[in-house]
Amino acid sequence: PCPEGASRLAAGLESRHCRCVYGYSGRLDWSELEGRYLGSCTRTPCPPHAEPGPSAGICRCEPPFRGHLAWLSGGGGGVSGGGGGEGEGPEEGGIAYFDGACLLVPCPEHA
């Protein structure tokens, strides 16, 4: 099985290796010697002045801040294979992040 926060599904297709899923960030490396994945997938932290939403990949600005936040994947999905066959081998790091910012809403005039 895949570690928590990971799946073999990528873009609707089943993959041979586990990858961090939407809303999670990390790096997984398959160890042939140990027969398991090394590394982990953790929920991508929210930026300053934001709190986690109801599911991974969602952050909401805390009042009195406002803004648009979008979760962006960290590249290749954060997995390294151990074989050398097609679709295996190191991929880009799996550092995901939120793009955007929560900005302080100004007070109304004369407040």
pLDDT of 82 above 70? no
Q: What is the distance between the alpha carbons of residues 47 and 98, in angstroms, rounded to a whole number?
A: 7
At 110, the pLDDT band (50, 70, 90 cuts) reads confident
CB atoms inside a 10 Å sphere around CB 23: 20
DSSP string covering 31-71:
ETTTTEEEEEEEEPPPPTTEEE-SSTT-EEEPTTEE---EE
3: which 2 tokens? 């570690």
Fill in the amino acid letter for 46: C
pTM for this entry: 0.69
